[in-house]
Amino acid sequence: MNTSAVSTGAGVTVRVPAKVNVQLAVGAARPDGFHDLANVFLAVSLFDEVTAAPADSLTVGCTGPDADQVPLDRTNLAARAAEILAARHGISPSVHLHIAKNIPVAGGMAGGSADGAAALVACDALWGLNTPRAELLDICAELGSDVPFSLVGGAALGTGRGELLTPVEAGTFHWVFAVADGGLSTPAVFREFDRLAEGREIPEPVASPALLAALASGDPDALAGALSNDLQPAALSLRPSLAATLGAGVDAGALAALVSGSGPTTAFLVRDPES
Ligand code: C5P
């Protein structure tokens, strides 16, 4: 699942995947407020599409089931991506960005990050800039910790605050996602992680060799035994009803259940498409 661009007369459309974190190991809070992570991202076949079309000024539109929850001002990561790219090249960000939204908003599946990465690639193509990939990744890291992964897709280990990526091997897996009513704020979930961790020694986050081997093997039973998310207790603390959702998925036959990223979307690993 990679980010890809298609150009038409009306503009440039980029399709970008959502992600699930198959391991999210969280370290202690850093002096800059972020947390060091060992964050194993896996792109999934749930996509947003961002179309960049010529316009007199920077505007954002959005359609899709959650469209009413998407900010259409300069706080939208797609708009910020266009602004940063234009500023670096000394041009004006005259573009209309249309987001066809399928990824849950504030759901822990990097939907906002996906739109930021997609807008960056779409504007780069529309404006004919050919920005080197390393610079695009740099802009992505400026936009947010999960945005570089949205540019790269596939499967990757994110270290630092999640923005330093190393590709990892992954087989094909099948997931069911349960979307919650209302989002969870990522900073609030990290704050709750800190509160729950008070007085405890937090180990350095490291990628689990068993998880990486299971991911590469394509064996769903092995992956089911190796999934982990250190943010899950914090997400459950802020949204206790998620415990029942996780339990319902396991009762229905899922091999494993976990909160996706900072939640509240829950992810269920299943054996095959029929399940
Ligand atoms: O990087 P991003 O803008 O997505 O981060 C949103 C917030 O999530 C940060 O302001 C911070 O509170 C929290 N965060 C963190 N450690 C990370 C990533 C995010 O504490 N590695």
- Quick check: 259 and 239 in contact, CB under 8 A? no
pLDDT at res. 31: 95
Query: How remote is the CA of residue 275 from the centroid of ligand 1, in Å?
Result: 35
Q: Which of 23, 41, 161, 262 maximizes ligand 1 atoms within 8 Å of its Cβ, making it the mutation to test the pocket?
A: 161
- Quick check: 26 and 231 in contact, CB under 8 A? yes
Mean pLDDT by 10 residues, the chain (275 residues): 66 97 97 97 97 97 95 96 98 97 90 97 97 97 97 98 97 96 92 96 97 98 98 98 97 97 96 94
269, 176, 267: which is closest to 219 by C-alpha?
Answer: 269
pLDDT at res. 261: 95
What is the pTM assigned to this prediction?
A: 0.94
pLDDT at res. 1: 58
Nearest CA to ligand 1 atom 7: 187
CA–CA separation, 106 and 246 (whole Å)? 19
Instruction: Give the DSSP H or E segment for 39.
Output: strand 35-54
